[in-house]
Amino acid sequence: MVEKFKTYLKKYFPNGLRVEIIAVVILLILMGVVLFSTRKTITISVDGNNKKVTTFSSTYGKVLNDNGIKIGPKDKVRPSLDSAVKNNQTLKIKRVVKVKVEVDNKKLNLESAEDNVQDMLKAENIRISKRDIIYPSRKHELKKGMNIAVTRVTTKDIKEDRPINYDTVLKSDEQVENGTKKVVQEGQNGEKETVTRVVYQNGKEVSRKIISEIVKKQPVQRVIAIGTLTDYTPSRGADLNYVESLQMKATAYTADYASTGKSPGEPEFGITASGTVARKNNGSYSSVAVDPRVIPLGTKLYIEGYGYAIAEDTGGAIKGSRLDLFFNSNSEAENWGVRWVNVYVIR
């Protein structure tokens, strides 16, 4: 090549210049141009520590070799070692750190150059589920000497049938003697299907929670009647069963015009609000006027000093705790007058 270059120079410079000198000068210039074009400056960053180097090497692997920088099997290099060197590029090297991992009853001593805990576990083929508890957290930066614990979390759903206890209900009963209890309806337990989720950590149970319940059979209440019927012995000596006692103001009335505003022969003369004929019966039920809001019409009563009665009538002045007792004659009514009496509501 040099001889050809000399021949070329002799052709164009016949004036006797030394061809050899010119040829050498030109070659040196060409070599300088080639060397300058292949010279590159890059930054080598090892765990954040930067160093600038000038190189003529074509790949980053050769650059590191030329500078005596060794790469371990788990160290991370970006760009890759076989990448072409680019001027002003930064070559990043992340060295492994030693960590301890406790998982599946094993204690492992590992080396990793991954960025965080989760990436390290993945790189080491340690599988983790979304439920597993990782400490420190999955995204925690991996650091030298770190202790990492993986707690396996599993669940199990247990299905079982359970009884539903029946309730006991107490009800007042006017047909049962006061203070006496009577079972009206026997109770029966119901049945439900429950699903309980049990949570385990590293195989040990840590919690359980009912996640669903389906009633398969409704329970039947146990009903007990509590008697409210009370005995009372009137002055006549016969026992009287009553469900309520009241103290009321009692007046007296007859069927005459002064009491009812009606005269004999007129429609509804002597007829009560219930449509019955007003009467006073000794030893049987007599008619009395009441306030239906206090004593409903048709209620049977025993009135001290008057006897058995039935609420059949009403009156404009009979309001609240008042009642009007029917008598057959004005003399009987006048003799009664106005008095407070004990009234017993009977069956």
Q: What are the angstrom distances between the C-alpha of 197 and each of 140, 159, 194, 215, 216?
A: 31, 9, 10, 18, 20
| In contact, 45 and 92? CB cutoff 8 Å | yes
If asked whether residues 19 and 65 sit together in one domain, one would say: no
Domain stops at, among 94, 109, 124: 94
Question: Is 16's pLDDT higher than 90?
Answer: no
If asked whether residues 314 and 327 sit together in one domain, one would say: yes
User: How much is the pLDDT for 34?
Assistant: 47
Which CATH number is 205's domain given?
2.20.230.10
Question: Is 206's pLDDT higher than 50?
Answer: yes
In angstroms, rounded to a whole number, what is the distance separating the alpha carbons of residues 77 and 79?
6
Element (H, E) at 333: helix 330-336
- Count Cβ atoms below 10 Å from residue 279 Cβ, excluding itself: 17
Angle between helices 2-12 and 19-38 (to 10 degrees): 120
* Choice between 157 and 241, residue whose per-residue pLDDT is larger: 157
Q: What is the pLDDT of residues 23-75, one digit of tens each?
A: 555 666 555 444 455 789 999 999 889 999 999 898 999 999 999 999 999 99
Stretch 333-343: mean pLDDT: 94
- 98 pLDDT band (50/70/90 cuts)? very high
In angstroms, rounded to a whole number, what is the distance separating the alpha carbons of residues 164 and 191?
5
- 181 pLDDT band (50/70/90 cuts)? confident
| In contact, 149 and 102? CB cutoff 8 Å | yes
If asked whether residues 285 and 320 sit together in one domain, one would say: yes
If asked whether residues 45 and 27 sit together in one domain, one would say: no
If asked whether residues 279 and 337 sit together in one domain, one would say: yes
If asked whether residues 340 and 270 sit together in one domain, one would say: yes
Instruction: Report phi then psi at 83, rounded to 5.
Output: -75, 150
Domain stops at, among 136, 151, 166: 151
In angstroms, rounded to a whole number, what is the distance separating the alpha carbons of residues 210 and 197?
6
Q: What is the pLDDT of residues 104-124, one digit of tens each?
A: 999 999 999 999 999 999 999
If asked whether residues 24 and 61 sit together in one domain, one would say: no
Which CATH number is 114's domain given?
3.10.20
- 150 pLDDT band (50/70/90 cuts)? very high
Domain containing 87: what range? Answer: 40-94
Average pLDDT, the chain: 87
CA angle 79, 80, 83 (to 5 degrees): 85
- Count Cβ atoms below 10 Å from residue 94 Cβ, excluding itself: 19
In angstroms, rounded to a whole number, what is the distance separating the alpha carbons of residues 88 and 256?
130
- 18 pLDDT band (50/70/90 cuts)? low
Question: Is 128's pLDDT higher than 50?
Answer: yes
User: How much is the pLDDT for 266?
Assistant: 84
Cα 182 to chain centroid, rounded: 42
Helix (H) and strand (E) counts in the chain:
6, 20
The number of distinct structural domains making up the chain is 5
